[in-house]
Amino acid sequence: MHPSLLHDLQTKTDAGWILRAGRLFSEQVETWTTLQKTPDYAELCGAAREQAARCQELPPGELREITEAILMSSGAPAGLQWLEDSGGLRAFLPELHATVNFSQEAGRRHKDVWEHTKQVVWQAAPRPVVRWAALLHDIGKVKTRTFTDDGKVHFHRHSEVGARMFEEISRRFRFDRETSRTLRFLILHHLRPNQYVESWTDSAVRRFEKEMGSYLPDLVDLSRADITSRRPGKRQLALCNLDALAGRIDDIRRLDAVTPPLPGGIGDVIMERFRLPPSRLIGDLKRALEAAIAGGEIEAHQDSAYYLPHVERLLAEIPSTPCVCQE
């Protein structure tokens, strides 16, 4: 780094220079890498740590804007590491600072959460909500870590805990309502796509797609970024699994677009089986079947007999249903 630039950074009186330095380092990674090996870096970090607490006084918009600029940079890990080294992370994202060196207890080790997080951010699709979700997806691990008797580590329900923790972060950064809702959803469900297995039925895939709704593309991209294993075979298997899920979803969408989910003549079969006259009720029952298919409760593209037990349950739930006579 040019000496005058280093001097300018150190003599800034507002704590915002700490974040601006992070943005600079994320854009000039080679500069940061070189500087990190010199006494000047230690001096710069010392000056930053003296002012870091004042980052909490920055306007939320400025805090959010510069942090997002760091996240969106191709050198995001460098900028994020500077925020940690400078004390900035501890000041305005203590939930994330708590993951630094969170890798051992009583001599037992597992993947460092902070290093994993930086890699996930770097791998994530360069869209703001995906990068923010990548940054925050594992904050719940600190509060949920447990060890079994054989030394294995677990983080049960860390996604739920992390989603609750995000509420305070959202207020701190003043995310707009839609962004806040999206980030909370992505943190809460970030494990879901990677739980896919080939044995899922089409109904299960439909149910998953419906539950994820409009968040599905961002969620799948976050899940891809969350694969950081150094073992090539394991990493490739996980990525292929996500590709398979995306392929199943696309195939089902195409099939449903070409072939109606219910067989032709299902209305006539219902009327004959339950001795019902032509009426609005038949249309309501068909729409209920289509909704159950879309929700993953029952399979699509089956023969008429498959749907009759479900129709019978629907009729039983209608107080004014005519007497159902069965042979």
Can you say how many angstroms the Cα of residue 257 is from the centroid of all Cα atoms in its chain?
28
Structure tokens at 8: 């300018």
Looking at residue 263, the DSSP 8-state letter turns out to be P
∠81-84-85 over CA atoms, to 5°? 85
> How many of the other CB atoms lie within 10 Å of CB of 130?
25
Can you tell me the mean pLDDT for 303-320?
87
| Lookup: tokens for 34 | 């070189």
Q: Is the pLDDT of residue 105 over 90?
A: no
Of 103 and 136, the one with more pLDDT: 136
- pTM for the model stands at 0.81
3-class state of residue 108 by DSSP: strand
Answer whether residue 109 shows pLDDT above 80: no
Position 102 scores a pLDDT of 81
CA 206, 211, 213, 216 torsion-angle sign: negative
User: Which tokens sit at 228?
Assistant: 């950081």
Torsion of CA 259, 260, 264, 265, to 10 degrees: 180
What percentage of the chain reaches a pLDDT higher than 90? 61
- What's residue 110's pLDDT? 53
Encode pLDDT of 3-19 as tens digits: 555 555 555 667 889 99
- Separation of alpha carbons 122 and 125, rounded Å: 8
Res. 119 pLDDT band, cuts 50 70 90? very high
Which region among 10-24, 275-289, 293-307 has the lowest average model confidence (pLDDT)? 10-24
Mean pLDDT of the chain: 89
> Can you tell me the mean pLDDT for 46-55?
92
At residue 34 the predicted structure's pLDDT band, cuts being 50, 70 and 90, is very high
pLDDT of 2 above 50? no
Across 31-40, 73-82, 224-233, the highest mean pLDDT is recorded for 73-82
**Res 162 pLDDT > 90:** yes
Q: Which residues contact 171 (CB under 8 A, 6 or more apart)?
A: none
| pLDDT higher at 293 or 220 | 220
Hunting for tokens 């974040």 — which residue is that?
19
What's the CA gap between 26 and 46, in Å, rounded?
A: 20
pLDDT single digits (tens) 210-246? 899 999 999 999 999 999 888 878 889 999 999 999 9
Q: CA 145 to CA 155: how far, in whole Å?
A: 5
Distance between CA atoms of residues 271 and 278, nearest Å: 7
pLDDT of residue 209: 92
Helix axes 60-72, 128-136, angle to 10 degrees: 100
123 pLDDT higher than 80 = yes
